[in-house]
Every structure is written in C-alpha cells, then in structure tokens.
Amino acid sequence: MTQTLSPDYIVLGSGVAGLRAALELAQGGRVAVLTKDRLDESNTEYAQGGVAVALSDDDEISLHFEDTLNAGAGLCDEQAVRVLVAEGPRYITELIAWGAQFDREGDALAFTQEAAHSRRRILHAHGDSTGREIVRALIAAAKRNANIQLVAHAATIGLVVENGRCCGVQFIDPNESLRRESRARAVVLATGGAGQLFAQTTNPSVATGDGMAMAYAAGAMMCDLEFVQFHPTALALPEAPRFLLSEALRGEGAILRNHDGQAFAKNYDERGELAPRDIVARAIVAEMERTGTRWMYLDLTHLDAAFLRERFPKIYDTCLRYGLDLTKDQLPVSPAVHYVMGGVRSDTHGRSTLPGLYVAGEVACTGVHGANRLASNSLLEGLVFGARAGAAALADALPLPSPAEAEAVEFDLADWRLDQRTKARVQELMWRNVGLIRRAEDLRRAVAECARLAAENVNERTRNFALLAKLMAEAALWRSESRGGHYREDFPQRDDAHWRIHSAQQLGQPIQALTQLSEPA
C-alpha cells in the first residue's frame, strides 16, 4: 500500500487537527495521512472534558472570546482567538452533521461548566469520552472519502526541504521496515504535543514532540515553548498511570481537600476550584508543601452517585480498577504536565515560517492559548485550525515537486526508537528543573544537561527529544517573570512592561522576542 504512496498532500498525525485538515485537503487532491501508531492513538482520543463552543442560548461568542483572553494571561493573539470562537460553532455543527454524537438533554445539546468559563459551554460525548467520539466521527468521514489514504504505524523521521521549501517527508514503511521518501505540494504537521518530555504527564506515550523537533531541524520557527500547562488533578496512586481527572469534575462541584479534610482552594484564589489551571495547580503544590504531603484529595462524595456514574463513566470505571469509587472515596490527586501552549509558529491560516509546511493543533503556536490554555479550547482549535491549514495549503497551490530520486533503503527500527535511558534522564530532569515552579539555577542545569544528552552518540530521534527539552528550558530561563503556565520562583510577578512578548527560537540563531504571532515574517 505505501509503495504506491503518491499524494498531492501529506498530513502527519491522525488526531482532530490532522483528520480535519485531511478532509479539507481532499477537496483538491489526493491526501496521505501518516501516523506513527494506531489511527485513533493521539492526545485527542484521551480528551475527556469536552469541547468549548458558544452554541447555547445563554452564551455569546464575545463571552467565549473574553474568557479565552483572560485565561491566556495577556499573551493571546487576539486575531487568532477571534477566529477560534467565531468559526467554532460552524465546525462543531459540521461535525454533528458528520455523525458525532454529543450528549443531549432531550433534543437539546447538553452543556457543562469548566474552570475559567463564564457560561456552561462545554459539549461532551458519552459523558467523559469526547475526544474519542470526535476521532471516531472524523475517521469515519475520512474512510468514506476516496481521496484520503490512512497509513498507520508509519513514523515520519524527517521533513524534506529543497530550495527553502518543505516538499515531502521521509518515513518508515510499516509493511517492510524500509526508509522511504514521499513528495507532495504541501505537508500539514499535526503531530500533537510533547508531554512525554516530563516524568509526570497525562499524555499518552506517543506525545514525544517529534513533529516540533522535525520542524525546528528543518528551519521553522518555534515560539512560546516555556508555557507548559500542568493539569491540577491527575490521579496520584503509585501503581496507577497519571490518569487525567477531568476539569469537568470540578465544574460539576468537586472540592479539593487536604489530608485534614479541609477545603483549601479558596485560600489561594477566590474562584477556588474554578480558577484557571495554573492557579489551581500551584495551590495544590503549595498545600502539599505546607502540609508535608505528596498529594491532595478531590472529593465528589457529596454529589449524586447515579449522576456521577452516568456523567463520568470512563473516569468512574478507571478509578474502580484501582480500588477507588469516586462516589464514595476521595481521590488522591497532584499536578502533571498536560499541554504545551508553544510550538511551531503559525499564522491564523496554519502557515509556518517554512514555505510548504502548515501546522495545526498542539504542535502549532497560533497564540490562541497565550500563556495558559482555557479548558476545552484545544479540541476546538484542532477543528478550526486544522480546516484552515488545509484550506490555506489548497489556496497556495504550490507546484507538485519532482518525484523522489532516492530508492527505499532498509531501516533498522533501533535507529529510530527513543533510547530509554536517555528518555528517562530527560524526563526526570525536566520534571525537577523545568516543572511547575522554576528557578534560574535549575533551568541552567537543565539546559546544560539536555545539550550534553543531545550531543551524545545516540540516534536522531533521541537527539531530537533531548534537543526539544533544551529549547524548552532555554525559553523558560529567558523569560524572567511569571505568567500563565510559566512560574519563576525567583521572578514571581507578572511584568507586562517588559515581558508582554513571545519567545522565538530558530535553528542557528539566539532566542528572540516577538510582539505578535499572527503573521509570520
């Protein structure tokens, strides 16, 4: 199948952004969607809480706009946010027409509340499996389209750049373990985030930042990598994975308690459990440090048991698997890395700074999230900017490059797999030194150690993994203030006079400051 891969367009990634881009591109040519794992294995599939959209009768696009700006701590690109909230209803309505089944109350869509939203505007599916339902609907739509070729277990190992333009990819043929090259008019990068850079993360094992690293190596500009969102409430059991306990639990009334049973969130912010994620996460860490404990508790036992089982079936079943009944037991929680606000610089049409390379979803930095993503805006971003990236690639009508001259060669998968010792060292280093609370000395140590690890004689993917960690640590060291998901203990105040700017990193150049993101140079 992959031996005859000859698309007009290549999409990397099969989450919400990649699939929506593919469906847009298929209107103008043949599209190959490559993904390094199963088609349904992505961060999208793990999104529990829902998708934010101003569709309810008591909501307005202007309110969603203001809530997003407020959560973004002064660094949102307003042009990008306007696109997100204004076009969001259109793309959600389209998704429903394609068969996505969101939960309803009678005939009406059911909306719920999440932190930092001024209205109940969060759509959900099957209680707490929203991402999975969206991916299901998009994969079904893609399979119905004769112009889309879905290729699972085809890991991309590099972008092809000629004459300053991205014109294809090198990838591993999943059937024959061959290294192949495929050319196309354009490449849409939708490879997701980089949560696996950290030891404690809610992200699946595939979220290793490969797309970001490949784009950087190809010459694309990276922005705002210092802004990493720590989800406040990941399940904190030694024998359990860092399973995400959705924001929606607190939206429905869950209370954070310490080991003495005291509710503490309002001691740190008047909004309590519904403050933005960065504030709640730091409140939990502060309370852990104050009480000398390793976790806090999330308490839902005062809520109706039947409602909780119906509203959060996946969370309920997962907790039961580890001996916890969320209707009766308080759940041990502590923060974990959840989302990277920064990524490959993108304009509002998904164009990166490298011609021929378009980006969408968590791998991209449009500025829509600013310094701290508003809960449940990520799935909407994937839909809206995935479609816009596909439309821009069609509109730009770049010529089809000449076919690849290189023959397929045998490829040892050991040359691509992440070295586990290096991965573990980077993860522990990033968690301890570039985590929720940061200090200059720790950040310098992380930069130096990651640079050393990247320079070791390991395979290219492992070097990229360490290099991306170094870029993130460098950006965090550069920003001498605290803002959103970036908190510096040695610079604890937000400083709008000097730091209402974006970090920009590009191969072979020192870190720069940008005043806006919407239109790449």
Q: Half-sphere exposure (CA, 13 Å, Cβ side) for 138?
A: 31
Is residue 135 a contact partner of residue 45, using CB atoms and an 8 Å limit? yes
Residue 235 inside a domain? The answer is yes
> Residue 519's Cα: distance from chain center in Å?
21
Indicate which CATH number applies to the domain containing 267.
Answer: 3.90.700.10
Report CA-CA distances (Å) from 319 to 126, 195, 199. 17, 22, 21
- Run of H or E residues at 318: helix 313-321
* Residues 490, 225: Cα–Cα separation, whole Å: 19
In a domain, 216, yes or no: no
Contact 355, 165 (CB under 8 A): yes
Q: What does pTM read for this prediction?
A: 0.92
Q: How many residues does the chain have?
A: 521
Q: Which amino acid would we find at residue 113?
A: Q
Q: Determine the pLDDT at residue 182.
A: 94
Residue 265 maps to a domain: yes
Give the per-residue pLDDT at 4. 55
277 is catalytic: yes
Q: Assign 94 to helix, strand or coil.
A: helix
* Residue 285: inside a domain: yes
Three-class SS of 335-352: EEEEEECCEEECCCCCEC
- Contact between 339 and 202 under an 8 Å Cβ cutoff? The reply is no
Instruction: Characterise 136 by phi-psi region: left (phi > 0), alpha (psi -120 to 50), beta (else).
Output: alpha
Within 10 angstroms of residue 322's Cβ, the number of other Cβ atoms is: 14
**Residue 415 placed within a domain:** no
Residue 302 resides in a domain: yes
What single-letter DSSP state applies at residue 488? B
pLDDT of residue 1: 39
- Kindly state the helix (H) or strand (E) to which residue 52 belongs, with its residue range: strand 51-52
In contact, 467 and 450? CB cutoff 8 Å? yes
Name beta bridge partners: 250.
none
Residue 494, in any domain of the structure: no
Tens digit of pLDDT per residue, the chain (521 long)?
A: 344 568 999 999 999 999 999 999 999 999 999 998 777 655 554 445 689 999 999 999 999 999 999 999 999 999 999 999 999 999 999 999 999 999 999 999 999 888 789 999 999 998 778 889 999 999 999 999 999 999 998 889 999 999 999 999 999 887 887 889 999 999 999 999 999 999 999 998 989 999 999 999 999 999 999 999 999 999 999 888 888 898 889 989 999 999 999 999 999 999 999 988 888 999 999 999 999 999 999 999 999 999 999 999 989 999 999 999 999 999 999 999 999 999 999 999 999 999 999 999 999 999 999 999 998 999 999 999 999 999 999 999 999 998 876 677 888 777 889 999 999 999 999 999 999 999 999 999 999 999 999 999 889 999 999 999 999 999 999 999 999 999 999 999 999 999 999 999 999 999 999 998 876 54
In angstroms, rounded to a whole number, what is the distance separating the alpha carbons of residues 1 and 182?
Answer: 13
Taking CA atoms, 361 is separated from 6, 100, 229, 364, 467, in Å, by 25, 19, 15, 6, 21
Residue type, 462: T
Among the listed residues 296, 333, 348, the one whose alpha carbon sits nearest the alpha carbon of residue 77: 348
Sign of CA dihedral 109, 112, 114, 116: positive
Catalytic residue from among 136, 277, 345, 483: 277
Cα–Cα distance list, 375 to 72, 338, 462 (Å)? 11, 11, 31
Tell me, what's the pLDDT at 40?
64
Structure tokens at 162: 């000629």
Q: How many domains does the chain have?
A: 1
Structural domain containing residue 256: 231-336
List 150's β-bridge partners, or say none. 33
